[in-house]
């Protein structure tokens, strides 16, 4: 839009709008004074514009120079014009931010993060909280970044997940995790407090879990003694409640796709909380499955239909849950499990003892004095139902939760679990898998959901 020879709002002249408004205010003021003051005298002084012809929107050069104003009036007009410009700029800026959400551009590509449930932290504040990401504050490595312990100035302890730089996977996972986790509120889910996205830095801030992850205790010869049977049974029940919330009761229906012992964190009272939603998928309320073009998940926890054809569903999480429960019962890792009579993994080992009528052989030996036999057998039975090869045969999380709470529910006989479903052609070794996770291989998706 042009006014005379001025180009309004030209980005090359940042203060031009204020100047135009100033001139318009001057003209308006002069016309008002002239119309109301009969003693207002014309000015015969030379034009301040000289011989330069300047075109104004509503007045001529001679009109502009006919009258003179006091210094105080001119200063007041300048201040008013600048104030109006600043206010209008701030209003416009707030409107655009609210309409389009928080957007950062990197290499010409925009990453939108639209959530009101999480706080956006300054990088400097996070840097100070982690003592400049000190190695002493390091909690572990994840598939897409490093996790540090942090403490803000108000004394609040947090877990800071700093994603690796220049990682397309990390950016997609970051955006996914912020938008998904920020909307989830359940006592058995790790709570996202906020995020930071400045330049190449992509950071997630979670509530701090002082007892780290479940695998840290479960697969350690000394620490696993802290997990007696009542505690393990409670952990199984609470994980089931968290998964039930994701599948049926949250505002979004979430398929986690990476449920494992390394992604179960323990609070100060050893209560479990599900974490790491970077690979999670949101599906419709009336939708229970989908198809992925590339495999994402952890080797040993993925169901056969997902590995073979990319089909995932709520029953995929059920399969992973069944494997997780077998690990909790036995104290053994799934993929690294070995036995002289069977090298096909934990599900086949449990199935063999189940069919032989010796299910208690699956139990971790240190639990024999603290366990309840019926609870152990029922949990093994439930786990075998979860790891059946046909997804239609597996129970839902609602049914599983009912199995754990109501012993009047009769469990049907399980079918054999899937064997030999992992081919080497689909495996990608990820040396960045978070320690001390039991699973050293993670297969990741290379495109955003």
Active site residue 317: no
Closest CA to 179 of 132, 113, 102: 113
> For residue 273, which phi and psi values (nearest 5 degrees)?
-140, 130
Distance CA 419, CA 347 (A): 8
Q: Residue 206 region, left (φ>0) first, then alpha (ψ -120 to 50), else beta? A: beta
Q: How far is CA 447 from CA 37, 203, 277, 292, 340, in A?
A: 73, 19, 15, 10, 41
- DSSP 3-state assignment of 318? helix
Q: Is 139:149 a contact under the CB 8 Å cutoff?
A: yes
Give the pairing type, strands 157-163 and 109-113.
Answer: unpaired
Tokens representing 407 are 């012993």
Q: Quick one: DSSP state of residue 191?
A: P
Beta bridge mates, 266 = 272
Q: Is 337:349 a contact under the CB 8 Å cutoff?
A: yes
Tokens representing 281 are 């998928």
Closest CA to 325 of 245, 242, 232, 253: 232
- What is the b/e burial string over 401-430, where b = at least 16 CB atoms within 10 angstroms of the residue's CB? bebbeeeeeeeeebeebbeeebeeeeeeeb
CA angle 134–173–148, rounded 5-degree value = 15
| Contacts (Cβ under 8 Å, ≥6 apart) of 111 | 103, 104, 171, 175, 197
* Of 258, 276, 317, 364, catalytic: 258
DSSP letters, 122-148, are: -HHHHHHHTTTT-GGGEEEE-SSEEEE
Tokens representing 82 are 């600048």
Ligand-binding annotation for 440, yes or no, is no
Q: Is 427:299 a contact under the CB 8 Å cutoff?
A: yes
Catalytic residues: 258
Show binding-site residues.
Answer: 161
């Amino acid at each position: 839009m042009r006014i005379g020879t001025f180009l309004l709002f030209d980005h090359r002249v940042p203060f031009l709008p204020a100047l135009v408004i100033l001139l318009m205010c001057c003209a308006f003021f002069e016309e008002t004074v002239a119309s109301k003051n009969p003693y207002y005298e014309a000015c015969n002084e030379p034009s301040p514009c000289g011989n330069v012809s300047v075109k104004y929107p509503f007045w001529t050069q001679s009109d502009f120079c006919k009258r003179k104003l006091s210094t105080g009036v001119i200063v007041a007009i300048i201040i008013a014009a600048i104030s109006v410009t600043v206010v209008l700029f701030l209003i416009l800026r707030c409107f655009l931010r609210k309409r389009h959400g928080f957007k950062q551009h990197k290499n010409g590509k925009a990453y939108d993060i639209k959530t009101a449930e999480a706080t956006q932290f300054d990088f400097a504040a996070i840097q100070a909280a982690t003592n400049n990401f000190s190695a002493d504050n390091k909690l572990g490595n994840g598939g897409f970044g490093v996790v540090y312990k942090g403490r803000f100035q108000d004394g609040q302890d947090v877990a800071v997940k700093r994603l690796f730089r220049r990682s397309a996977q990390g950016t997609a996972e970051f955006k996914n995790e912020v938008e998904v986790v920020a909307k989830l509120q359940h006592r058995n889910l790790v709570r996202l407090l906020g995020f930071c996205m400045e330049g190449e830095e992509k950071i997630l801030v979670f509530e701090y879990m002082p007892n780290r992850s479940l695998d840290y205790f479960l697969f350690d010869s000394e620490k696993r003694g802290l997990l007696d049977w009542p505690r393990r049974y409670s952990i199984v029940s609470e994980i089931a409640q968290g998964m039930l919330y994701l599948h049926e009761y949250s505002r979004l229906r979430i398929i986690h796709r990476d449920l494992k012992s390394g992604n179960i964190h323990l609070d100060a009272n050893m209560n479990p909380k599900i974490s790491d939603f970077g690979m999670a998928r949101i599906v419709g309320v009336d939708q229970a499955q989908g198809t992925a073009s590339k495999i994402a998940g952890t080797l040993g926890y993925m169901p056969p239909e997902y590995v073979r054809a990319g089909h995932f569903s709520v029953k995929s999480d059920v399969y992973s849950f069944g494997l997780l429960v077998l690990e909790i019962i036995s104290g053994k890792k799934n993929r690294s499990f070995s036995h002289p009579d069977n090298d096909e993994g934990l599900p086949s080992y449990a199935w063999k003892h189940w069919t032989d009528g010796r299910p208690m052989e699956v139990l971790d030996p240190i639990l024999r004095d603290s366990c309840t036999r019926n609870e152990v057998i029922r949990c093994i039975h439930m786990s075998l139902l979860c790891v059946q090869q046909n997804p239609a045969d597996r129970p839902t999380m609602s049914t599983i939760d009912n199995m754990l709470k109501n012993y009047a529910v009769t469990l049907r006989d399980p079918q054999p679990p899937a064997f030999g479903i992992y081919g080497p052609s689909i495996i990608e070794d990820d040396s960045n898998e978070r320690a001390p996770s039991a699973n050293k291989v993670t297969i990741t998706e290379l495109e955003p959901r």
